[in-house]
Structure 1
Amino acid sequence: MSELRIISTGDAARPVPKKHSRDPDRLAAALMLVGVAIAMVWANSPWAATYEEFWALPIGMSVGGFDVSFTMHAVVNEGLMTLFFFLVGLEVKRELTIGELTDRSRALLPIGAAVAGLIVPALVFVLFNLGGAEADAWGVVISTDTAFLLGALAIIAPKYPSRLRIFLLTLAVVDDIGALLVIGLFYNNGLAAVPLLVAIVLMGLLALVRFLPAGRGLSYTLLGAGLWIAVLLAGIHPTLAGVAVALLIPVFPPRRTDVERAAELTRAFRESPNPAYAAAVTRSLRDSLSINERVDAAWRPYISFGVLPIFALANAGVHLDPETIRDAVTSPVAWGIVVGLVVGKFVGITGATALLRALGRGQLAPGLGLNRVAGGAALSGIGFTISLFLVPIAIDDPHTQNIARVAVLTASVLAFLIGWAVLVVGDRIRPPRPVGAKLMRPFDPERDHFRGDIAARFEIVEYGDFECPFCSRATGSVDTVLEYFGDEVRWVWRHFPLDVPHPHAQEAAQAAEAAGLQGRFFEMAVTLFANQDRLEASDLCMYAARLGLDPERFMEDFQSPRVIRRITDDRLDAELMDLSGTPTFFVNGKRHIGPYDSASLIRALEASRAH
């Protein structure tokens, strides 16, 4: 008798809200492309001379006997790009502290792939330029442009891209760390001792700002500006001051006391609206999130839609005369850049991923195959921003700089086309599974929450939501099925919180997982279903206390990256199977369409006995 697994979708299932995270990625990439296009047209128009003249315009300031001046190009590359690197630093700090890079086993594959993606392109460039005057310019080929990478992925729009996007984001963070270290260690102008000492003192003061009772934002701004000047005078590229400030800004998950305080003030404002309560609510909401996350959310649109397009406009204006094109075709610098970015990134990332998997050092997330990784690796050859940023730093000769810019732009176009081909052709050769017809991830007794015998012949997997009334009713159906079949059936619960119709479902799932880490998952689940109209943070804490859970450990686990990732994994499974509502049942791996009352589920399982 063969095993059968059934999946059912309730007739009253609600639609799943789609997140439009691709739209900002597309818009950011589109604006950068507009900047590139304008720069190219301007630099090759009858008014080409004005392009260089404009970016060479001096901007100065004089205070008493102190004079300082920068060109427009320096304002962009050393001033505005400090904000870009500041944002990169915020992301790096967040991932290292509460994100993907906190879990070594989970991050091992993208970390290893990123390191190989840094080393292999550099080696390829050096091989092409061995003994040449520009051999030290290998830094131009090491870094991936995260904005263009995600924009390209959004434009190609392969089916179910979330797992690949998370893999590439983790890889990009490590890639950014490597690029920042390279800039700081290998591309400085020699270190001046006194300004460097001042910079170290300022960094110490920045680390202490978090302890100030007020004025932290202003303090970070003033000390950050001082650090930028000190780093510039020390001979280090000043954009790294942005990274240093970001790494010294604390990041933490929302704290229970802050969230509860915000809820109390919100209730008070609702009962008695007045300016004092409004100001208090605003402050409490602000303080419940770390400065890292607040600044990132506030500044990211300006960086993505403003600074980066301006950077593209200032750096992509390559004069494509016959001499430059001819020299680029025969230049070892150009070939080193193109082959390093296009081939080196692809071979390094794909090869390292395959090798680590073969050695048993890591596993790809369910639904993410090596063909998808290869497509992402090809797209990683888009090295636009940091590559163009490093060209004038790593290469002295203006004509060679022009050749290098041509090579970077060429490599970026080739990387996009190859990535598109690998993803599209790969999906045709190995198409995604039929959507929703089969359970994507099999039962894992070490991971899954289940009731029944671990070795049962039959299995019901439910994707549900603790705030969904239909899931609550379905629990009674499951109880009846378990009672009817006894040890022959196993029931497995997986999370599928629907955020828009059920705004408390995510936190309820976190509460269940936090209780599960103290051995009380199903007790908390029963409590949540019985109190679906009372799922505020304070309610969840009260339920944990009633169950006798350690309150401090409960809140620590409730907001831990481990718990968040667990729920996110179940969400991504649901996306891959294109589930549209809750509850959705899988019995022995096949989707059950129709009623999910106990009689229907029992009939389905009885029918499987004949197979």
Structure 2
Amino acid sequence: MSRALTRAISGQTAPRQLLGQFSVPLRRFMRTEAGSASILLAVTALALLWANSPWSAGYRGLWETELSVALGDMGISMSLGHWINDAMMAVFFFVVGLEVRRDLSVGELTERRRLVLPVLAGVGGLVLPAVLYLAVNSSGDAARGWGVVIGSDTAFLLGALALVGPSSATQLRVFLLTLMVFDDIVAVTVIGVAYSHGMQVWALVLAVVGLAALVLLGRFGVWRTWPYVLVALLIWWATLESGVHTSIAGMAAGLCIPSYRPRRPEVEGAARWFTAFRQSPMPEVGRSAQEAVARAVPVNERLQVVLLPWAVYVVVPVFALANAGVDLRGGLLADALRSPITWGVVLGLVIGKFVGIGAVALGGARAGLGRLPQGVGPGQVLGGAALSGIGFTVSLLIVGLAFESATLRDEATVGVLLALVLATGLGWLVFRLAAVLHGERTASLPTVLDRPVDPTGDHVMGPADAPLTLVEYGDFECPFCARATGVAAQVREHFGPDLRYVFRHLPLPDVHPSAELAAAAAEAAGAQGAFWAMHDLLFAHQDELERDCLAGYAADLGLDVTRFLQDLDDPQLVERIRADVASAEASGARGTPTFFVGSTRHIGPYDAETLIAELEESRAAAEPSGVTGSAPAGS
């Protein structure tokens, strides 16, 4: 289910209200990664200007202001700066934990083999920076700063990638995000363990019990949000009392909140309730419809929808405002530029990340330990490694924990800010060289159909020489593909003989265990001239795709059942399915359903209205070129 859909049906309006007061162009810019990075840069500049202005005393005094939250005799009292670092940043890491759990459960990290190379690169990007820092600061209080150089700021990194990276970098972005998952987990663990003081065992035990409670809530299928929120707050309070930094509580709590693919019965139930509300718009029916939709969307994603805008546009900018302001007057800048702490941070972040991540990633790929993502070149990996030297948020947080001396904190902060500028510049240079010397100008999945449509070999519905072509890669066990059959029927009805519809196989056995057998059944039926009839039966009976059921469908269609069962294991039919899967891989199709309009991969919603509009655009674009009905457009 798309993020846009979950936002639309989650019943939460706070994120929209957060940005809704701005103009449309400004809202669009803020929603981009470059926009969020620009906000951080602006806030950082404001912090530096404020700290170096005649009002610098007010800047320092603001974050030292005490703020208390009390209920009777119980309460928490901390300075405003500690509330930001210990409470607001816990929310930030909670959102990171939610995103990591989703990626591990249903996202890019479900294929564990994709983790090998990013994890190895992540290890290199953690170890070498720390070693380089300690080579410059091997003893005394300065040595405690080794943790400053191990983390990367994901938001800033992606923003910089949007500004200085390839024009299209979706695959490189996925690789870097996978690497950052490992980076975040290790960095938060280091914060929680290496920079904690005076642990209280009873509070730590209570936090662990809270984490177990979150797991049990998920196991028992609790779908309401508030129990998870209450338990997460208990975990935060217990961790705060334990002496362990609360960032680890946020990350751990987010990781314990389950994520899963939408379940068909719950989605269908929500649809029925909305139909009932449309027919009878009464408050109680609307409430039931809202609850049905909430059941269909995992708690993990509902929490992300609500918290992510606040984390990006409030928490991180406020954190930057509170932590980036260094008073450089009185010779501090000159002292910082002579300080081994400053240059240890710069060396660790800029050189350590660049060499550690880049060398391990490329060396691991060359050694066969993993492979780079499709469409990503070696130079682009090095460019991403350079941008990983932007530590900022995590680095500034550790600066405040590692050093008790204000002077040491300021010198380390200067190093973090210098690294931000130098790492971005190095990334820009590497990306430009990769483009000029190696032609690495994009880092995305292919968008062009790898194997042209062949009416003699493909499964085609409609005239073979129709001027428009719609290709679908589908999985017979995928519920979204089943609904897409209705979409395809509407599109075919709209265009009539002007459209040919092509179905190719993309079974996803890791998700749908019967998908490969069902694809073989369609091909076995096709050998007897009944591909499309079997195609419709398989989608109509997605929950019954066992071998005996398939034999029954063959009998219902009047096929030779004995021949049908023999053909299920025919190597030629199996090879045909593999050829479709290979063409999907080469064409950039990663999920089902994936559509191609002509020879171009469709990106975005696949409802009938959207596909019809794109096909119409394809026809309009082809007409001035003299393309006629005898030469299928884009195929």
TM band (smaller chain): 0.7 to 0.9
Match of 2:90? 82
Q: Deviations over 1:236-266 (max 9, x none)?
A: 0123221222122111111121122122223
2:597 counterpart of 1:581: yes
In 1: Cα distance, 2:36 partner to 2:95 partner: 15
**Deviation of 1:460 (Å):** 3.5
Match of 2:21? none
CA RMSD of aligned residues (A): 4.1
After superposition, residues 118-157 of structure 1 pair within 5 angstroms as: 118-157=126-165
Distance 1:433 1:52, change over 3 A: closer
Match of 2:358? 350
Percent identity between the aligned chains? 36
In 1: Cα distance, 2:436 partner to 2:421 partner: 23
Match of 1:236? 244
**Deviation of 1:471 (Å):** 7.5
Match of 1:259? 267
Match of 1:513? 507
**Which one of the candidate residues 191, 201, 210 is aligned to 1:202?**
210
**Deviation of 1:39 (Å):** 0.4
Match of 2:230? 222
After superposition, residues 285-434 of structure 1 pair within 5 angstroms as: 285-432=293-440
How many residues in Structure 1 have an aligned counterpart in Structure 2? 514
TM-score normalized by the length of structure 2:
0.72
In 1: Cα distance, 2:161 partner to 2:486 partner: 27
SS at 1:513 equivalent: coil
In 2: Cα distance, 1:528 partner to 1:294 partner: 44
In 2: Cα distance, 1:516 partner to 1:596 partner: 38
**Deviation of 1:197 (Å):** 2.1
CA contact (8 A) 1:142 1:179 kept: yes
In 2: Cα distance, 1:175 partner to 1:329 partner: 28
In 2: Cα distance, 1:304 partner to 1:566 partner: 39
In 1: Cα distance, 2:258 partner to 2:404 partner: 38
Q: Give the gaps of 5 or more residues in structure 2.
A: 1-27, 476-481, 489-502, 509-513, 550-580, 602-621
CA contact (8 A) 1:163 1:367 kept: yes
Flag the structure with more relative contact order, 1 or 2, with Cα contacts below 8 A and sequence separation at least 6.
1
2:462 counterpart of 1:473: yes
Q: Deviations over 1:466-503 (max 9, x none)?
A: 9xxx97436x459xxxxxxxxxxxxx98689xxxxx99
Equivalent AA in structure 1 for residue 462 of structure 2: R
Equivalent AA in structure 2 for residue 153 of structure 1: L
Match of 2:540? 542
SS at 2:370 equivalent: coil
CA contact (8 A) 2:122 2:180 kept: yes
**Which one of the candidate residues 171, 176, 186 is aligned to 2:184?**
176
Q: Deviations over 1:130-175 (max 9, x none)?
A: 1243212211000110000111111225232111111111111111
In 1: Cα distance, 2:145 partner to 2:368 partner: 36
Distance 1:493 1:128, change over 3 A: same
Q: Deviations over 1:401-429 (max 9, x none)?
A: 00100110010111111111111232122
CA contact (8 A) 2:165 2:428 kept: no
Equivalent AA in structure 1 for residue 287 of structure 2: A
In 1: Cα distance, 2:175 partner to 2:443 partner: 22
In 1: Cα distance, 2:257 partner to 2:234 partner: 16
Equivalent AA in structure 1 for residue 276 of structure 2: A
**Which one of the candidate residues 111, 114, 118 is aligned to 1:110?**
118
In 1: Cα distance, 2:274 partner to 2:204 partner: 47
Match of 2:571? none
Equivalent AA in structure 2 for residue 373 of structure 1: V
In 1: Cα distance, 2:49 partner to 2:485 partner: 52
CA contact (8 A) 1:101 1:107 kept: yes
Equivalent AA in structure 1 for residue 236 of structure 2: W
TM-score normalized by the length of structure 1:
0.74
**Deviation of 1:46 (Å):** 1.0
**Deviation of 1:566 (Å):** 9.6
Q: Deviations over 1:445-478 (max 9, x none)?
A: xxxxxxxxxxxxxx64689xx9xxx97436x459
In 2: Cα distance, 1:528 partner to 1:40 partner: 72
Distance 1:221 1:274, change over 3 A: same
